[in-house]
Amino acid sequence: MHNVSFSDLGLIDYKEAWDYQEQRFEEVTQRKLKGDGKLHYLLFCEHPHVYTLGKSGENTNLLISDEMLKRINATYYHINRGGDITYHGPGQIVAYPILNLEALGLTLKSYIHEMEQVIIDCLADYGIKSDRLEGATGVWLDVGVKGKERKICAIGVRASRFVTMHGLAFNINTNLDYFSYINPCGFIDKGVTSMQKELGYEVDYNEVKQNLKKHFAARFNFEYNL
């Protein structure tokens, strides 16, 4: 078992959460450099409306002006994770694992694969069949069905010295209208969905959080320190 410090930060400003991540990331990295690889964090939170663009992203994938951003009460950040543009907002679970991958025996590729499986397993609890899409990170529905492929969870990470930050954004009761202002993850031919849209009712957000936490523990062999 790997001991992991778990925190639920609740609804928190994106920049505040990013700064908090950076502090924990530096802490884990410094401990690792001193030979102590046993420090890991898992953070859950929810953000007010915000768009984030990864290092490999294109600004043109944000389809609206600064004035429109203000009108829809959203902010925009160019950040240091991989991937393109995505949206965070109320009704979405954001998970930030800050992990020493070497201590967990994981490569970056296997880490992302396991995170995808956490979401796949969690969705299966609710009867939603999901899968991976070749050439794209995250978790998708109706993979291979032309015109119907849609993403329910975006994944974008940063790793330095095999310590991770950033993570995943899982659409639970998310207002999907906000995705219409971007090309999500750079795609122009694929959709976005949520558990609420797929199931036809508002999902118990806190219940999903608990199930997600359970599936993280199962896939990564975590034992939580609260």
pLDDT in tens, the chain (226 residues): 899 999 999 999 999 999 999 999 999 999 999 999 899 999 999 999 999 988 777 888 888 888 999 999 999 988 888 778 889 999 999 999 999 999 999 999 999 999 999 999 999 999 999 999 998 899 999 998 988 999 999 999 999 999 999 999 999 999 999 998 887 655 556 789 999 999 999 999 999 999 999 999 999 999 998 6
CA distances from 77 to 15, 116, 175, 186 (A): 9, 24, 20, 16
Q: What is the three-class DSSP state of 37?
A: coil
Is 122 part of the annotated catalytic residue set?
no
Other Cβ atoms less than 10 A from the Cβ of 194: the count is 21
CB 57 within 8 A of CB 186: yes
* SS3 of 52-75: EECCCCCHHHECCCHHHHHHCCCE
> Which pLDDT score, from 0 to 100, does residue 86 have?
87
Of the residues 45, 122, 153, 185, which is catalytic?
185
> Which pLDDT score, from 0 to 100, does residue 226 have?
64
Q: What is the three-class DSSP state of 117?
A: helix
> Which pLDDT score, from 0 to 100, does residue 83 have?
75
Tell me the sheet residues that pair with 2.
222
Q: Which fold has domain 2-225?
A: BirA Bifunctional Protein; domain 2 (3.30.930)
> Which pLDDT score, from 0 to 100, does residue 27 have?
97
